[in-house]
Amino acid sequence: MKLKSPFTGNRGKMIKPGACAGLLIILIACPLFIKSPYLFHIFNLTLIYIIVAVSFRTIMTSGQLPLSHAGFMGVGAYASATAAKWLGWTPWITIPFGALVAMGVGVIMGYPFARLRAVYYAMISLFFGMLIISSVKAFDTWTGGAAGLTGIPTLFGYSKIPYYYFFLLLTSVCLLALYRLEFSRTGVTWKAIAQSHEVAASVGINEARYRILASAIGCLFAGLAGATYAHYNGVIGTTSFGLMATILLLIYVIVGGAGSFFGPIIGVVLLMTIPELLRGLREYVPYISAAILLIVVYIMPKGVAGLANSLLSWFTELRKNRRTSNAS
Amino acid sequence: MELIIGTFANVLILSSMYILVALGFALLFSIMGILHVAHGAVYTISGYICYHLAQAVGLNGWLSLALTVVVVSSFGLLLERLCFRPFFGEFDRSLVVGIGLILIIQTTMVITRGQESLSIPSFVDGFLRYGPISVSHERLVTFAIGAALLLVLVWFINNTKPGLQMRAIAQDFRGAIMQGININWISAIATVIACGSAAVAGCLMGAYLNLNPFMGDHVLSKALILVILGGMGSMTGLFYAGLVLGALDATLPVFFSGSVAEVIAMSVIIVVLLLRPTGFLGREIT
């Protein structure tokens, strides 16, 4: 009789969607058990940053390292916030508007930068991120400059729970879209370009177009997250979108594991949520982040998700070996 | 006239200090292929060590400067062994280690000294007067030390055996190994040089400006700009880039307000990089 491994066949295919659905149900039921508004504030921020980190990784799969990504979150946030504050539009219109503006800027950046690869792309995009921040500071009559923009109209007032459900819905939809995209023909093409742009070009892939597309989609989601962040927080400042913010995003992705779709999610939860939950330790909190970083980097070369994957394959290997030794 | 002289002096001092910090940064990048983002934190911590030696212990200023350089250089040896060598040539993971180091150093600084503003007592007093022009001795000394150190370092890299071995490793890592160059030994020397020059810059700037736990971030971004603009792996390019950045920093604020000047400077850098992705004198790396 042939034994079926739990990781192949029909049952195996249902494990991931099942786990996601279970997690979603737990998250939906959360407000029944947890009453602290502060906790929900942390959950909301986590959900926003998950979108940004996952979209960051989406651009990375196409072989580009956009060190301006937090800046695009800022483009979405400032476009949406200024439109809502000075033109009086409702946030429901300005949020898509902000996302589209971020996408437009991403495409404008993508065209000239598509001729640069690898390190050179990373470097020039780093300066583009700095350019975004200094432009925001230069137009200080509308954006509030270095002091930050206050009095942005919010979506649902001051209670955290409606935001929580809104962000849960938004993040789930975005993650689903990006997940489908990653395993679609486009996503595979991106990975091919990242592996070797010469081979990709030789089989007829238009490298520049696909890289601009990756940058446009990543920036769209970053802008969307930034715009909702602006209308959730009510206050935005340039420091949340600067070089350090981008480097932190990169750290979330690396620590979680850049090779896996779920890596950035794990990274955000580990490095953003856990230190926030330990707020009670006050100024000692960065030590905890540093400890997590160092532990991960010394013992898990491919990030937490990479470790999980290799454990899983080790486990299946073990089962296979036992089965063959039993049969013989 | 006085304004022009003053600005000119400031730019020379800042440029020499930025180049001093950027030189170590570039050395580590070209030899070990790691982006040493904690370089700014090393710069900051040496300012604080010097302050403690001079204020709390009460040593002579020059003695505390020398002691700081010794302490920070030996810290560099430790850094090379524990944090750089395991991640030789691994960009991602060395970046994470660097951020971890920054977090630890900055937090320690904030906890022990708080956010208060401190300043290292000046190394020398007095002014040099020549007609209507007066420049403080402190600025002159800062610039003289920076320039002298840079000259010594350039001489070291171009003329001594370890320096030439460094350049060989930067040019072709495999070829250098095959010629029997001890890479670990050379990268230890490079780390000591990098940390030592950052320590000198940190102490001098700590006396010239104020100390604060986050002063390294600004210097780090300047060093990054210098290294990218000058071209990775090129020492001469670093000096050109330092002068160009100094000129941009000095002249633009005269005509425009601060953030507009920054926008123009960034646009100029982006256009330069679009035309010459490898920087002024860099060569293609893969």
Tens digit of each residue's pLDDT (9 = 90 or more) over A67-111: 899 999 999 999 999 998 888 888 899 999 999 999 999 999 888
| Inside any domain, residue A280 | no
Question: Do residue A131 and residue B263 have CB atoms under 8 angstroms apart?
Answer: yes
Question: Do residue A134 and residue B224 have CB atoms under 8 angstroms apart?
Answer: no
Give the model confidence (pLDDT) of B126-152 as tens digits.
677 776 667 777 788 888 888 899 889
Give the torsion sign (CA, A307, A171, A52, B216). negative
Give A1's pLDDT tier (boundaries 50, 70, 90): very low
B92 and chain A in contact, CB less than 8 A: yes
**Closest CB from A116, A120, A297 relative to B97:** A297
- On chain B, the residues whose CB falls within 8 A of the CB of A126 are 224, 228
Q: Is the pLDDT of residue A54 over 90?
A: yes
A258 and chain B in contact, CB less than 8 A: yes
Secondary structure (3-state) at B134: strand
Give A55's pLDDT tier (boundaries 50, 70, 90): very high
- On chain A, the residues whose CB falls within 8 A of the CB of B93 are 254, 297, 301
**% of chain A surpassing 90 pLDDT:** 30
Mean pLDDT (whole number) for A117-141: 86
The set of residues, in sequence order, having a beta carbon less than 8 Å from that of A36 and lying 6+ positions away, is none
Instruction: Find out whether B27 and B166 touch, Cβ atoms under 8 Å.
Output: yes
CB atoms within 10 A of CB A252: 26
- On chain B, the residues whose CB falls within 8 A of the CB of A287 are 103-104, 107
Question: Do residue A255 and residue B96 have CB atoms under 8 angstroms apart?
Answer: yes
B175 and chain A in contact, CB less than 8 A: no
Alpha carbons B203 and B50: distance in angstroms, whole number: 6
A284 and chain B in contact, CB less than 8 A: yes
B269 and chain A in contact, CB less than 8 A: yes
**% of chain B surpassing 70 pLDDT:** 94
Question: Do residue A134 and residue B263 have CB atoms under 8 angstroms apart?
Answer: yes
- On chain A, the residues whose CB falls within 8 A of the CB of B104 are 286-287, 290
Question: Do residue B37 and residue A247 have CB atoms under 8 angstroms apart?
Answer: yes
Q: Is the pLDDT of residue B286 over 70?
A: no
User: Structurally, how many domains does chain A consist of?
Assistant: 1
Mean pLDDT (whole number) for B39-63: 86
Query: Which of B29, B30, B92, B274 is the mutation pick for testing A, counting most A CBs within 10 A?
Result: B92
Output the furthest CA–CA distance in chain B (Å, rounded): 61
For B:211-230, CB contacts with A below 8 A are: 217, 221, 224-225, 228
Instruction: Find out whether A29 and A43 touch, Cβ atoms under 8 Å.
Output: no
Q: What is the pLDDT at residue B131?
A: 67
- On chain A, the residues whose CB falls within 8 A of the CB of B262 are 130, 134, 137-138
Strands B127-130 and B133-136: antiparallel
Instruction: Find out whether B167 and B159 touch, Cβ atoms under 8 Å.
Output: no
For B279, the closest chain A residue by CA position comes to: A120
Mean pLDDT (whole number) for B70-80: 91
Q: What is the pLDDT at residue A25?
A: 87
Say how many CB pairs under 8 Å bridge A and B: 98
Q: What is the pLDDT at residue A72?
A: 93
Question: Do residue A127 and residue B217 have CB atoms under 8 angstroms apart?
Answer: no
Q: What is the pLDDT at residue A104?
A: 94
Give the model confidence (pLDDT) of A218-273 as tens digits.
999 999 999 999 999 888 888 888 888 888 888 888 888 888 888 899 899 888 88
DSSP H helices in chain B: 2-32, 39-52, 61-79, 91-113, 137-159, 161-171, 173-178, 183-208, 215-230, 235-255, 258-275
For B90, the closest chain A residue by CA position comes to: A301
Q: What is the pLDDT at residue B233?
A: 67
| B176 against B281, higher pLDDT | B176
Which tokens belong to A311?
């454990």
Question: Do residue B96 and residue A251 have CB atoms under 8 angstroms apart?
Answer: yes
Question: Do residue A124 and residue B277 have CB atoms under 8 angstroms apart?
Answer: yes
Which tokens belong to A110?
């993508």
Task: Give the residues across from B128 on adjacent strands.
Answer: B135
Alpha carbons A29 and A31: distance in angstroms, whole number: 6
**Closest CB from A119, A124, A283 relative to B285:** A119
A289 to chain B, minimum CA–CA distance in Å? 8
CB atoms within 10 A of CB B162: 15
A259 and chain B in contact, CB less than 8 A: no
A317 and chain B in contact, CB less than 8 A: no
- On chain B, the residues whose CB falls within 8 A of the CB of A123 are 228, 273
Structural domain that includes position A184: 38-240
Mean pLDDT (whole number) for A158-185: 90
Alpha carbons B220 and B274: distance in angstroms, whole number: 23
Distances (CA, A) of B20 to A31, A328, B99, B163, B238: 55, 68, 22, 16, 10
CATH (one of 3.90.1070, 1.20.5, 3.30.1330, 1.10.3470) for B2-275: 1.10.3470
The answer to whether ipTM exceeds 0.90 is no
Q: What is the pLDDT at residue B96?
A: 84
Host H or E run for residue B231 = none
A294 and chain B in contact, CB less than 8 A: yes
